[in-house]
Amino acid sequence: MFDQFLHWLESTAPAIAISESSWLFPGIESVHVLAITLVVGSITMVDLRLLGINMRHRPAGEIIAEVLPWTWASFVVAVCSGALLFSSNATHYWGTVPFRAKMLLLAWPGSICSSST
């Protein structure tokens, strides 16, 4: 049943376009990596403030209020771009241990990917 879904996903127009294009996959992958970098960077800014290492003159709540929209927006972009990348070769990616480990870490409560905010 799940295999049928993966095959259907690979046969969608966006997935075919990505897999057949010489520039779409690298372009989407660049957006994906930049979005992940923004997620990690924004969380790091908050964590460094909470640890008292950086921006001590500003209240933590103020920094969180400024950074959190960027964190969530970047996360949404990372998920959407990752889904597009996955769709281009879903059966292969689903069969790899690193991909499954990544998905497990993203879904695991309290994982390294969770924000402390």
Alpha helices in the chain (DSSP H): 2-10, 13-20, 24-50, 60-87, 90-94, 97-107
pLDDT 10s digits, 76-103: 999 999 999 999 999 999 999 999 999 9
Q: Are 63 and 49 in contact (CB under 8 A)?
A: yes
pLDDT 10s digits, 43-61: 999 999 999 998 889 999 9
Q: Per the domain annotation, does 34 fall within a domain?
A: yes
pLDDT 10s digits, 6-56: 999 999 999 999 999 999 999 999 999 999 999 999 999 999 999 999 888
Domain count, the chain: 1
Residue 1's pLDDT band, with cuts at 50, 70 and 90, is confident
Q: Per the domain annotation, does 114 fall within a domain?
A: no
Range(s) of the domain holding residue 10: 2-107
Q: Per the domain annotation, does 15 fall within a domain?
A: yes
Q: Per the domain annotation, does 117 fall within a domain?
A: no
Contacts of 16 (CB under 8 A, 6+ apart): 10
Q: Per the domain annotation, does 24 fall within a domain?
A: yes
Q: Per the domain annotation, does 113 fall within a domain?
A: no
Q: Per the domain annotation, does 116 fall within a domain?
A: no
Q: Per the domain annotation, does 69 fall within a domain?
A: yes
Q: How far apart are the first and last CA of the chain?
A: 38
Which residue has tokens 């924004």?
Answer: 42
In this prediction the pTM is: 0.84
